[in-house]
Homo-oligomer: A and B are copies of this chain.
Amino acid sequence: MENKQNIAEILCVGTELLLGDIVNTNAAFLSRELAALGFAVYHHSVVGDNPARLRDALELSLSRSDLVVMSGGLGPTKDDLTKETVASYFGLELEMREDCLEEIRSYFARTGRVMSENNAKQAMIPRGARVLTNRYGTAPAIAISEQGKTVIMLPGPPVELIPIFREEVIPYLRERGGETIFSRNVNIFGMGESAVAQKLDRLLCESQNPTVAPYCKEGEVRLRVTARAENETVAAEMCDRVVEQILQSEVGQFVYGIDADSMEHVLVDKLHEHRLTLSAAESCTGGLIAKRITDIAGCSDVFFGGCVTYTNEVKQKLVGVSAQTLAAHGAVSSETAIEMARGVRARTGSDIGISATGIAGPGGGTDETPVGTVYLGISTKDGEGYRKLSLSSRRSREFIRIVAATNAYDMVIKYITLGKI
């Protein structure tokens, strides 16, 4: 049986979440942080700004877990009820805290805004609660520890919640002590989820500590290896032994990273490491290859940019694909892909040029070149090459574009690390 002290759950409050107006990124952030602190999170819940439902949800959460982390409902309006509901659950009165009021006043002074009367409501704090200072907004975060249960209330906006968690909540929770949980992610590309599951059947089904859980996103599979131990060093060693087993298995050759954020992160790291530069010429991906790389701050040392050549004419004008190639082989061909990669490499002066040309659909497919056909080209000082993808024509345009871009990254990584073209 697990110790309930190590179980935490997340309760988010906000009608905007229930309407789907915003995506609950707080729950994902809090989950990652709590896992890193050694808490097992078994439930996320979302309720609206409704006192009865909020109270029910809080009661349920506290019956299951000793730590409940809440977000939202700490604003200045009458809709915001989190503090009131939690205080009433524990039978605590709200009292005006002069130090919090002062903090709020000084926040408004710093940001040059006028404080409205209802902001004073935000300085009302349940008696005996711990205030976790919010330097990023007006709502103080609050921790209540009563009757063996802890409730942490955080403001909803991620620009406030994230830094408060890191600066105030982590030190607060570390004071509580306990077991540590440690995870590693194994990033796999080029082998499907069921194949991975089959090859690693015993590891996935039988491992208890560490556990191994697979999940997939467009064209990729990740295995999460999670160990519990008395401290991080021991837990990390336990994970690393399992990671080693995975690397030694038939799945190993498809592992592109350990704890990698994404394939494009690995690509940018490899380019930095080998002091190589890259550019891209994109047809069907229409800027996605460049966009995902430039999502990464600091990529400009290794990524020069490139061209989006969405029409045949522009393929000729911007990256010098020859009219003969287009006439003889068509825009969706290995020949065009290679000329695009060659052209963008020459025109930007980068070490490596990559390209994508294909049919992302839903229209535009033919019998010979159905939707889902993509040619990826690569041009380097060591030679040129291409990869042909035949994705299902029933896949969405978005899926086809994402998988095409990921394959382009994979080609560059394989060239850099294995010299393979």
Contact = CB atoms under 8 A, between A and B. Distances in A.
Interface of A: 14-25, 27-33, 35, 41-50, 53, 57, 60, 75-79, 107, 110-114, 116-119, 135-136, 157, 159, 163, 183, 185, 192-195, 197-198, 204-205, 213-218, 222, 224, 226, 279-280, 282-283, 285-291, 293-295, 297-300, 303-311, 313-314, 317-318, 347-349, 360-363, 390-399, 401
Report copies per complex: 2
Contacts of A286: 290-291, 293-295, 305
Contact of A290 (B194, B308, B349): B308
Given A44-B24, A307-B308, A313-B349, A14 B50 contact: no
Contacts of A79: 204, 213-214
Given A118-B197, A297-B362, A21 B224 contact: yes
A345 to B, nearest CB: 12
A53 B42 CA distance: 8
Interface of A (DSSP majority class)? mixed
A370 to B, nearest CB: 10
Contacts of A14: 215
A310 B307 CA distance: 11
12 contacts: A19-B35, A23-B27, A42-B47, A77-B193, A119-B194, A279-B314, A286-B293, A290-B290, A297-B360, A305-B314, A307-B307, A307-B318
Can you list the 9 inter-chain pairs with the closest CB atoms, starting with the nearest? A286-B294, A287-B290, A20-B31, A20-B32, A287-B287, A21-B215, A305-B308, A44-B46, A287-B291
A306 B306 CA distance: 9
A159 B398 CA distance: 8
A279 to B, nearest CB: 8
A55 to B, nearest CB: 13
A318 B305 contact: yes
Contacts of A197: 76-77, 118
Nearest to A53: B42
